[in-house]
Structure 1
Amino acid sequence: MNIREQLKGTGAAIVTPFNQDETVDFAALEKLINFIIGNGVEYIVTLGTTGETPTLDKQEKLDIINFTFEKINGRVPVVVGIGGNNTREVVEQVQSYPLDKAVAVLSACPYYNKPSQEGIFQHYKAIAEASPKPIILYNVPGRTGRNMEASTTLRLAHEVANVAGIKEAGNNISQCIQILKDRPADFLVVSGDDDLVLPELACGIDGVISVAANCYPKQFSDMVRAGLASDFAAAKKLNDPLLEVYNLLFTENNPAGVKGFLYEMGHIKNVVRLPVTSLSEGIQQKVKAYCARG
């Protein structure tokens, strides 16, 4: 089974719960894993940027990977996030991290450096050639400062054998459509923009790697499955109540928004690591009010 078939549907970019002293709360992580899987999400992405990876040290990352594999225990596929703006370091990580139980590596475009399109291509080519697992590209220009153009994505898809897909979070449906039009048949295309998933499903995407799937896994993954089945009336009915959720999730910061929801639901403590701060009181009250409505 290729990656496009394995990762069709909804993947949850899982948060990293913390205790009040900011150590990793592994008990809450296990609880969250079971909640997400039990409510129908097709796979889990650990150590994505929603997991606050920029503020995790190497040992914490290794512990989280191994713990996640142990607790999931083959119930759903696991994708591991490994990215950065130092190509040599990312190459070393994909060669040394425990990836035997992963189906793929999700790797964000290099941030801050603002490489050219050729630089982005060569960065991913080096990682893909070193990786024991297929690479899923991650275009998120709102965070990285550089858009990976459709032409670069398609060049990687057609020319680099171990590049298996893309999480496209460019907030640009036209770019997504171009990738869908010219991708190889087995190349996975998933959304990284929760609020655009419904229209992008109509364009032919294979699913999503989602933030909202942490807190509303059943409703969100049911919506995606309905869209994949071309039942857009049902998908819209499920998506409409989530529009306010999408706004609250990202109005200040991710993962502050999703952690605010998960806290109100009783899954985790409302703790993030600097430079991220928890939601402001006014926004947290709106999250609380939404959760209270059911």
Structure 2
Amino acid sequence: MTHPFKGAGVALVTPFKEDSSIDFNRLEDLVEDQISNGMDYLVALGTTAETPTLSLQEQKEVVDCIKSKTNKRVPLVLGMGGNDPYKIMQTIQQTDFTGIDGILSVTPYYNKPLQKGLIEHFKLVCKTSPVPVILYNVPSRTGVNMDGKTTVEIAKTCPNAIAIKEASGISSQVSRMVKYAPETFGVISGDDVLALPTIAVGGIGVISVIANVLPGKLSQLIHLANNGQFAEARELHLQMLDLFKLLFREGNPGGVKAAMEITGKLKNIVRLPLVPVSKKLYTEIETELKKLL
């Protein structure tokens, strides 16, 4: 059976207008651009969407907009994490999951739980969720790394925990999960630059940032790799390698929003406490993009 989140996923940005209100026309264009360029599924309200700066009403409006434009053409994943499992459970219980195919739930941040705490946290989240759960491990943002053994235990204990977005950068951890987790559990790269290596050891794809600006190239890379065409995939990976790094030099989504403005997809506006990238980095991104377009 094909994994429902195998392939190229994108963590959608939230486009803003000059007054920092949400630009829903641009958001609809972004969704269409992703689907028409071969992306396999979409992720709404992830970190890249600047979700912590969106009000609850804005979050609902963003999801409704994405659901309407997607119209079930590809699966839609909803970001739904936090550092209090009981609040997450309450949010899940109050959410209309019509048109939602899964949730992406990040490890608790700030309170730095032990591995046992992570297991118990996700047991509660998975027990409550009516849709499949993608775990999300991103130690650089949360302050805690979910060990591969912990992920495997969650995967074996919680049947609806069907994948992990792994962004630790620890290659041995990725390999361990691929080796010991159930066959139905997928390891998804949470970092564009590690997508190809992750697939090479048995991962199933990526939840991408760069796809917001280059969906066609990114989806092609992932599809080639998943088909075992690693020479062709490597060529695309190396073409985008420098841009992968540039987009994160001064934080995400500042870099990718700069790139999207350069390509005419949206205005380069982020909400505080984020600020736009420096002029120097903006110029470097523009120079690198010209090589790829």
The match for 2:15 is 17
Residues 83 and 110, structure 2, Cα contact 8 Å, conserved in 1: yes
Residue in structure 1 matching 2:157, options 156, 159, 168: 159
Question: Deviation at 1:291?
Answer: 2.6
- AA aligned to 2:211 is A
Question: Deviation at 1:213?
Answer: 1.1
The match for 1:43 is 41
Structure 2 CA distance for aligned equivalents of residues 19 and 90 of structure 1? 30
**What SS does the corresponding residue of 1:250 show, helix, strand or coil?**
coil
Structure 2 CA distance for aligned equivalents of residues 183 and 57 of structure 1? 37
Structure 2 CA distance for aligned equivalents of residues 96 and 7 of structure 1? 24
- AA aligned to 2:82 is G
The match for 1:250 is 248
Is structure 2 residue 177 aligned with structure 1 residue 196?
A: no
TM-score in terms of structure 2 length: 0.97
Structure 2 CA distance for aligned equivalents of residues 219 and 291 of structure 1? 12
The match for 2:221 is 223
- AA aligned to 2:23 is D
Structure 1 CA distance for aligned equivalents of residues 194 and 159 of structure 2? 29
Structure 1 CA distance for aligned equivalents of residues 211 and 41 of structure 2? 10
Structure 1 CA distance for aligned equivalents of residues 87 and 247 of structure 2? 31
Residue in structure 2 matching 1:64, options 49, 62, 65: 62
Question: Deviation at 1:81?
Answer: 0.5
Give the ranges of 4+ consecutive aligned residues of structure 1 lying more than 4 Å apart after TM superposition: none
Structure 2 CA distance for aligned equivalents of residues 277 and 60 of structure 1? 20
**What SS does the corresponding residue of 1:89 show, helix, strand or coil?**
helix
The match for 2:139 is 141
Question: Deviation at 1:98?
Answer: 2.3
Question: Deviation at 1:162?
Answer: 2.1
- AA aligned to 2:220 is D
**What SS does the corresponding residue of 2:188 show, helix, strand or coil?**
strand
Residue in structure 1 matching 2:274, options 273, 276, 281: 276
The match for 2:173 is 175
Question: Deviation at 1:164?
Answer: 1.4
Structure 1 CA distance for aligned equivalents of residues 36 and 273 of structure 2? 32
Structure 2 CA distance for aligned equivalents of residues 59 and 231 of structure 1? 44
The match for 2:87 is 89
Structure 2 CA distance for aligned equivalents of residues 130 and 6 of structure 1? 20
Structure 2 CA distance for aligned equivalents of residues 232 and 18 of structure 1? 37
Residue in structure 2 matching 1:212, options 210, 226, 232: 210
Sequence identity percentage: 42
Structure 2 CA distance for aligned equivalents of residues 254 and 38 of structure 1? 24
Residue in structure 1 matching 2:286, options 279, 285, 288: 288
**What SS does the corresponding residue of 2:99 show, helix, strand or coil?**
coil
Residues 125 and 156, structure 1, Cα contact 8 Å, conserved in 2: yes
Structure 2 CA distance for aligned equivalents of residues 183 and 27 of structure 1? 41
Question: Deviation at 1:292?
Answer: 3.1
**What SS does the corresponding residue of 2:117 show, helix, strand or coil?**
helix
**What SS does the corresponding residue of 2:111 show, helix, strand or coil?**
coil
Residues 65 and 98, structure 1, Cα contact 8 Å, conserved in 2: no
Question: Deviation at 1:193?
Answer: 1.2
Question: Deviation at 1:56?
Answer: 1.0
1:3-36 CA distance string (max 9 Å, x none): x622110000010111111111101100111111
Is structure 2 residue 195 aligned with structure 1 residue 186?
A: no
Alignment coverage as a number of residue pairs: 292
Q: Unaligned regions of 5+ residues in structure 1, if any?
A: none
Question: Deviation at 1:287?
Answer: 1.3
TM-score in terms of structure 1 length: 0.97
The match for 2:101 is 103
